[in-house]
């Protein structure tokens, strides 16, 4: 699709500025993030190694940081499971070569995170395509063109709000299929794009270039108004829902059993100012359970897992006077098994181990939601792990996740057994507004019978998994459509033109 004159004029100005600022900005980023040798050249697309390998279909997925990279990895994993079945319509080169994927990120911490995850996928056999991970090309004409000349991708998938003009412009000119996944645009970002006539025209041209746009938000009218064709925009659950946990729908109670001797609850992804509130809530819960005659073995211990391990010392200082044990994930089992230990709070000082925390916790509070500047975090992981989920009232963009869970009926109450009669019904997902409310919610959960607790956890897991299947189906269909367009005999996108992309 040819861009209008105003959009081309805006892009010409942008291209000139990005080219002039390329090396100064890249050198500044390299110095700030302490890049190792070679990454600066990679960022400007110098010295790249081709991944073409007999010209199989290539997917390029770009994500900005660690958060978006988690979603991008799910796209790569789904792509690796797909096969092309319409063999008789395939271009010869595309049919002969293996499918391959390139993942790019914008910063060094995300690069290390993704490289580690890809190694795990490859060792487990889940990565069935050749996956290359590198820093994304700086968004200037030269860097992007060099990147495309080396890797020759056929599909570009952008995650969330990553709208890079040079990347989209040259991908479109090369007749690549463009996917915009988890598409969102904040009010602030929209105001910036609308600050001038040229930038508004450029935004419309960028959005009109996408083959498909999947958005979990209900602001479809905003995207349509600013260039997305209505037939190409689809409402879909966030990629965060895409999980390979189909067994969660089976209700296998063995998967709900916890690897711990004593009852545990956890507060994960907490931010500054929340840890003291969590400890206060823990004290409230224990007091309520003591007063109600709940046995000591059913009074829960607390696992505290801050979002950033670099804050561990600050958290330790904030909890001065509280009897806390600090350690890594493999020490949790020893701590939870020691019923005589005086420390009933465990402070996790390790990243990437929330799965171990969920395995040992029946109830999980998701942080960054109890403080006024909070924006919430992923409530799906603990739900899919079979945990009862509690969150604060400050969820920000994470309310999108709650909306989908509500549509799935996840807030339906669970009927209690006879021994729980007269008590407030449990719900799979519960919102609290303060530390005291959190303590009451935790006490309410552990006061219930084991059967009721397991039932509510099973319900929450099943609802999250059901939406997960919808999210995966939407992603699969989007990738499938793009792959078919790569190889079909269409006069607008001739397969032969892709040999030299």
Catalytic residues: 68
Angle between helices 450-487 and 399-407 (to 10 degrees): 100
Query: In terms of C-beta density within 10 A (0-12 exposed, 13-18 middle, 19 or more buried), how is residue 307 classed?
Result: middle
- Three-state SS sequence of 442-485: HHHHHHCCHHHHHHHHHHHHHHHHHHHHHHHHHHHHHHHHHHHH
CA distances from 478 to 98, 135, 250, 413, 481 (A): 20, 25, 27, 35, 5
d(CA 396, CA 93): 47
Asked if 493 and 482 count as a contact pair (C-beta separation under 8 A), the reply is no
Query: How would DSSP label each residue in 317-331?
Result: HHTTTS-EEEE-GGG
> Which three-class secondary structure string do you get for 222-243?
HHHHCCCCHHHEEECCCHHHCC
What is the C-alpha separation between 113 and 352, in angstroms, rounded?
10
Please tell me the number of Cα atoms within 13 Å of 239 on its side-chain side. 27
Taking a C-beta distance cutoff of 8 angstroms, is the pair 152, 97 a contact?
A: no
Which residue bears the tokens 């063995």?
Answer: 254
Torsion of CA 238, 243, 246, 247, to 10 degrees: -130
């Amino acid at each position: 699709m040819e861009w209008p004159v105003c959009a081309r004029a805006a892009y010409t100005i942008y291209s000139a500025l990005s080219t002039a600022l390329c090396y100064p900005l890249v050198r500044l980023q390299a110095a700030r993030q302490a890049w190792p040798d070679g990454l600066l050249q990679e960022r400007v697309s110098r010295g790249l190694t081709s991944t073409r390998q007999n010209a199989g279909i290539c997917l390029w997925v770009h994500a900005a940081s660690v958060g978006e990279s988690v979603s991008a990895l799910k796209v790569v994993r789904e792509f690796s499971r797909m096969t092309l079945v319409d063999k008789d319509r395939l271009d010869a080169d595309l049919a002969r070569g293996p499918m391959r994927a390139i993942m790019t990120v914008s910063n060094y911490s995300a690069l290390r995170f993704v490289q580690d995850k890809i190694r795990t996928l490859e060792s487990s056999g889940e990565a069935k395509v050749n996956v290359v991970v590198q820093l994304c090309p700086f968004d200037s004409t030269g860097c992007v063109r060099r990147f495309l000349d080396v890797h020759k991708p056929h599909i570009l998938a952008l995650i969330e709000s990553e709208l890079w003009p040079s990347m989209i412009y040259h991908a479109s000119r090369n007749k690549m299929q463009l996917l915009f996944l988890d598409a969102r645009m904040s009010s602030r970002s929209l105001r910036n794009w609308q600050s001038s006539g040229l930038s508004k025209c450029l935004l419309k041209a960028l959005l009109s270039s996408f083959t498909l746009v999947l958005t979990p938000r209900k602001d479809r009218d905003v995207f349509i108004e600013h260039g997305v064709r209505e037939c190409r925009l689809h409402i879909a659950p966030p990629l965060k829902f895409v999980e390979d946990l189909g067994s969660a729908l089976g209700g296998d109670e063995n998967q709900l059993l916890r690897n711990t001797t004593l009852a545990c609850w956890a507060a994960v992804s907490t931010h500054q100012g929340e840890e003291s509130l969590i400890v206060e809530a823990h004290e409230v819960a224990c007091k309520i359970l003591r007063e109600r005659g709940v046995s000591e073995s059913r009074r829960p211990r607390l696992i505290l897992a801050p979002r950033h391990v670099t804050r561990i010392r600050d958290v330790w200082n904030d909890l001065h006077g509280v009897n806390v044990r600090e350690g890594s994930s493999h020490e949790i089992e020893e701590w939870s098994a020691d019923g005589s230990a005086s420390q009933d709070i465990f402070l996790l000082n390790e990243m990437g181990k929330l799965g171990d925390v969920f395995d040992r916790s029946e109830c999980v509070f998701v942080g960054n939601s109890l403080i006024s500047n909070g924006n919430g975090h992923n409530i799906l992981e603990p739900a899919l792990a079979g945990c009862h989920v509690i969150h604060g009232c400050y969820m920000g963009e994470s309310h999108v996740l709650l909306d989908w869970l509500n549509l799935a009926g996840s807030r339906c109450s669970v009927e209690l057994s006879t021994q729980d009669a007269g008590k407030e019904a449990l719900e799979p997902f519960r919102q609290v507004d303060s530390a005291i409310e959190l303590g009451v919610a935790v006490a309410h959960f552990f006061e219930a019978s084991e059967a009721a607790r397991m039932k509510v956890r099973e319900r929450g897991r099943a609802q999250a998994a059901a939406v997960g299947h919808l999210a995966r189906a939407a992603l699969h269909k989007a990738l499938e459509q793009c792959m078919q367009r790569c190889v079909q005999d269409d006069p607008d996108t001739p397969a032969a033109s892709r040999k030299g992309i």
